[in-house]
Structure 1
Amino acid sequence: MRVLADGMATGNPLINLSVFVLFAAVTLYIVYRVSSGNVTASNYYAADGGFTGAQNGIALSGDFLSAASFLGIAGGIAVHGYDGFLYSVGWVVAWLVGLLLIGEMLRNTGRFTIGDVMAYRMRQRPVRAAAAISTLVISFFYMLAQMAGAGGLVALLLGIHDRLGQSLLIVVVGVIMIFYVLVGGMKGTTWVQIIKAVFLLLCCTLISVFLLGKFGFDFSAILDRATQNNKLGTSILGPGAQYGKNELDFVSLALTLVLGICSLPHVLMRFYTVPDAKQARRSLVWAIWTVFIFYLCTLVIGYGASALVGTDAILHAPGGENSAAPLLAFRIGGTVLLGVVSAAAFATILAVVAGLTLASSASFAHDVYANIIKRGKADPRREVRVARMTALVVGFCAIIGGIAANGQNVAFLVSLALALAASANLSTLLYSLFWKRFNTTGTLFSIYGGLGCCLVLIIFSPVLSGAPTSLIPSADFHWFPLSNPGLVSIPFSFLCGIVGTFVGGRKADNAAKQAEMEVRALTGIGYKL
């Protein structure tokens, strides 16, 4: 039995590893079994649109209930209290943007990637190139969070404290994830998401019920104990414990959380796995309810971890804040429950990174190779092979990035990816779907302007340097005061789209295509997978 510096045991590494390996083996087998026929682009990218709204909705929630949702938010609530719960509130509200503005119209207009929608009535080659670049950058930042969470989680399972050992574990996680994508495609990845989402939701619900029962189903008693075991005291019950010194950071983060979800490439790609727009709407309804229940559980788990484990033990464990949920599981259920919870979190990481890798490889193979290099005349089998080769490269980059970001709060890292997604994609998608005059120049301005602005502000913010929690704490070259740039970069991308549209000319590039897109987006007439 491993013991941390403060005496907190982390269970039997052999049992933890057994549960961990068992889940990986089961999911790998399922991926292999459902992967037959992944030779056409429509099957590999969109599973031939063969999932129901309920199935896809659970998979959507699975795609989003990542390491940030489970490990990062639970840890954020345990350490920072109310301010950590901000992530949960923002992400639940965010799905309404997809339900009301994007989901159905995106499903009717595109085929495999967001580049299909952005380039529908524009000049194909420059717009698809821009869409592919934004997809790769956003996915890379999102992967950093998942891989960092994987390193901390498995390190906690096996009691590995040194950075080299955790780096090797990140490599193992990356290799398994690459297998999911290479063999399973969208069909295999979706079934992994469904299994993972159900497993994670059941796990969190049971822990929450058990935890409430331990305190006589009195949530106030949990809060009272949490204030006693947290050095911040009663301040964790109200806003300001984490963002009190900079209210603009709070506003920027909230804006990013609400607008970022339905701008993520791997989330948007899921709308193509259902047969029609009605099922796309059902997908979002199922996803909203699943996410809502889950985040209620994270509130109980977060404060419960503060109450029973204490913030000192959490911060000194491998993985830091991200260890709150596993340590709570060990405290209330021993080694077996720790193994189960860690397996759920591990499944979360594997499935989300697999979805990101699939979105990245699909964007490069479909937008760049098939439509730019081959000008729409690529052989489908060759296109799928290119997607698989791209998945190898993306997976390798994710492993390297995860090693570099190991130890950071994964919820915070995901918020940066959401800022990039909202800055590069949201304005472009909304203008493409709703603004008749929007043209190619406006599209390129909004994508590159929003993405570039967000990247520059991240580089010169406290995220990278100038603070004890920075990725490079020994350096200080920051001049932008906010940790999350969304408050500046998201409006800037909308402004860039307007300026670029007027610079590009008085009319849309292709009036006939614009009219066709409007009818198709609203009615679904003419959709063909």
Structure 2
Amino acid sequence: MTRSIQSLAAAGSTVGNATLNIAIFAVFVLVTLTIVIKVAAGNKTAGQMYTGGAAFSGKQNGLAIAGDYLSAASFLGIAGAIALQGYDGFLYSIGFLVAWLVALLLVAELMRNTGRFTMADVLSYRLKQRPVRLAAATSALCVSFFYLLAQMAGAGGLVSLLLGVSGAAAQNIVIAVVGVIMVLYVMIGGMKGTTWVQMIKAVLLIAATFVMTLWVLGKYGFNISHLFDAAVKENPTAGEKLLSPGLKYGKTDETKLDFVSLALALVLGTAGLPHVLQRFYTVPTSKQARKSVEWAIWLIGGFYLLTLVIGYGAGALVGPEKINAAPGKANAAAPLLAFELGGSPLLGIVSGIAFATILAVVAGLTITTSATFAHDIYNQVIKRGKASPESEVKVARIAALVGGVVAILGGMLAKDQNIAFLVALAFAVAASANLPTILYSLFWKRFNTRGAVWSIYGGLITAVGLIIFSPVVSGKGADPKTGKTLSMLPADIDFHWFPLDNPGIVSIPVGFFLGWLGSVTSKEFNAAKYAEMEVRSLTGHGVAEAIEH
């Protein structure tokens, strides 16, 4: 080790120079706000607000998708999971990456050809508009809210680690600052401004991770086997188990089943995430939509390979004891590695990028929630498609402001809660409620309104219900060493009856089953509208037309 134990202990509580961390973060905010203001000219129509006028190339959109998808959980969480759990931690990366093959092969091009602004455009195209749009909007808002809540809560949780401050009041202030900046991005720049923020953040995050990867490998002669050996030696408790499956998820049959459930949610949930689906509408053609996913796969896949080195590097150079002793525990692995490699300057850069990551992701989620409310609920459901473009954009901006306030308040309340739970819930709902309805709408001729409504609400209620009655919320008790409650609720509260942390293995089949059951028990079928949608989805013909009937 190049630093003393005392130095690393200090890093565990302050993690470098807080002033430098804040300065780098402030520079990023000023630069990106300047860009957002510059590109916001003419951001007056619904198309410009929601999709940036569909003016981005596949390469640009792929970079923005990477910026939208690679959240702080990807950078900090997965690196920490690999550092402490080895192979089992890397399984998260595999799940997140494989998910994009589902999006590429089944969703991206067809969604771009069929919709205009939101997921509900596709789901309601050949069905009854109001009930399906309302159901799709409800599901989209739930997924976005839980995902947004996780990011906002993560912002508060990172405060004590990266900025050297502590206390609920300080964390609440940072959550509020992140929320205000997020709302400014969306209200001023719309999708165009948000996309540029995401592209810049993706470049910074991937570049910083690449530099750290080379730095770590350089310490071991660019021999990854030597790195693995060092990580094993630094963690005698786990030992060789770091390099093989089963350290976390192979202990019992129940943990194995829990991992299968989580993997299903991760792999299938991505193709149903509303903020990811909306990005397919920011390109001019279906070919560019497909190309954007191809770029995203390469960028995201490359990033996750880098986290393998970052994770094992943290395990080898920092060690599990110091990681577990730091604020945030596993989330501290990457920042502590940066401090170990390059001291306060590199740590300042990494911390600034971590906050930039949160800003970019929450901005993308906010533009999705505002578009869903204004386009689907206000225009299509309340105004029955007769709202003026100006009033719709005005409502979208108000929705962004209200959504920002709700996210800030929710993040303050959830800052001490299990963030992984909130992210898993978002993916589980997306996989259970959104994906079955999307696939049925695109590929099953017999699908109808009852099937869509049953699938969405059934998958949503099942996923949320099973999570509420799972050990994640209550029943895990307290850690015998630290006394910290392992569930969301206090240790003495226990009303769980569902044994798994992740509901996907039950709720996803329920979503598909209810979609089938609702369809076969209803006689509704519009053959002409299905034929029209099939032609549109395969050719893109008429994609610029308003989706109203």
TM-score between the two structures when normalised by the length of structure 1: 0.96
Counterparts of 1:239 and 1:403, CA distance in 2: 36
5+ residue gaps, structure 1, are none
Tell me, yes or no, if structure 1 residue 526 matches structure 2 residue 542: yes
Cα 1:112/1:276, change in 2 over 3 Å: same
Q: Which residue of 2 aligns with 1:57?
A: 62
Give per-residue Cα distances to partners, 1:387-437, cap 9 Å, x unaligned. 111112222222233233335564554222111101110000000000111
The residue identity in structure 2 corresponding to 1:300 is V
Query: Which structure 2 residue ranges, 5 or more long, are not aligned?
Result: 1-5, 477-484
SS class of match (1:223)? helix
Give 1:486's aligned residue. 504
Q: Which runs of 4+ in 1 moved over 6 A?
A: none
Deviates most, 274-283 or 409-418: 409-418
1:247-396 aligned at under 5 Å gives the runs 247-396=256-405
CA distance in 2, matches of 1:171, 1:316: 28
Distance in 2 of aligned mates of 1:225 and 1:3 = 21
1:137 aligns with 2:142: yes
CA drift of 1:490 comes to 0.5
Cα distance between partner residues in 2 of 1:24 and 1:38: 21
Q: 2:466 aligns with which of 445, 448, 457?
A: 457
Give 1:65-104 correspondences, 5 Å limit. Answer: 65-104=70-109
Which amino acid is 1:347 matched to?
A
Which amino acid is 2:148 matched to? M
Instruction: Quote how far apart the aligned CAs of 1:4 are.
Output: 7.6
1:29 is displaced (CA, Å) by 1.2
For residue 320 of structure 1, report the CA deviation from its aligned partner: 2.4
Superposed CA deviations along residues 159-188 of structure 1, whole A, max 9, x for unmatched, are 123233222211211111111111111000
Q: Structure 1 81/411 Cα, relative in aligned 2: closer, same or farther at 3 Å?
A: farther
Distance verdict in 2 for CA 1:412–1:305, change over 3 Å: farther
Deviations 1:368-393 (A, max 9, x none): 00111111111111111111111122
Kindly indicate whether the alpha-carbon contact (under 8 Å) linking 2:379 and 2:387 is maintained by their aligned counterparts in 1. Answer: yes
* Residue of structure 2 in register with 1:238 after alignment: 244
Partner of 1:469: 486
1:115 to 114, 120, 129: 120
Q: Which residue of 1 aligns with 2:481?
A: none
Distance 1:169 1:226 in 2: 34
- Of the three residues 415, 421, 426, the one matched with 2:435 is 426
Write the letter of the residue equivalent to 2:529.
Answer: K
Q: Which residue of 2 aligns with 1:442?
A: 451
Aligned mates of 1:403, 1:319 — CA distance in 2 = 17
Residue 145 of structure 1: how far off its partner (Å)? 2.0
Report how many residues are paired. Answer: 526
What corresponds to 2:480 in structure 1? none
2:521 counterpart SS class: helix
Once the two structures are TM-superposed, the CA of residue 122 in structure 1 deviates from its matched residue by 0.7
Q: Offset at 1:303?
A: 1.1
CA contact 2:425–2:464 (8 Å) conserved in 1: no
Partner of 1:11: 16
Aligned with 2:162 (options 157, 161, 165): 157
* Equivalent position amino acid for 1:48 in 2: G
Amino acid paired to 2:540: G
Deviates more, 1:495-504 or 1:393-402: 393-402
2:45 counterpart of 1:36: no
Q: What does 1:489-528 correspond to in 2, within 5 Å?
A: 489-505=507-523, 507-508=524-525, 510-528=526-544
Amino acid in the other structure paired with 1:516: E
Q: Separation in 2 of the partners of 1:496 and 1:326?
A: 45
Distance 1:379 1:107, change over 3 A: same
Does 1:213 pair with 2:218?
yes
TM-score of the pair, normalised by structure 2: 0.93
Q: Secondary structure at the match of 1:504?
A: coil
What SS is found at the alignment partner of 1:358?
Answer: helix
Identity %: 61
Mapped contact 2:418–2:488 kept (Cα < 8 A): no
> Match for 1:528: what amino acid?
A
- Quote how far apart the aligned CAs of 1:221 are: 2.1
Aligned AA for 2:189?
G
Q: Which residue of 1 aligns with 2:479?
A: none
- Choose which of 407, 418, 425 in structure 2 pairs with 1:416: 425
Q: Single out whichever of 456-465 and 469-478 deviates more from structure 2.
A: 469-478
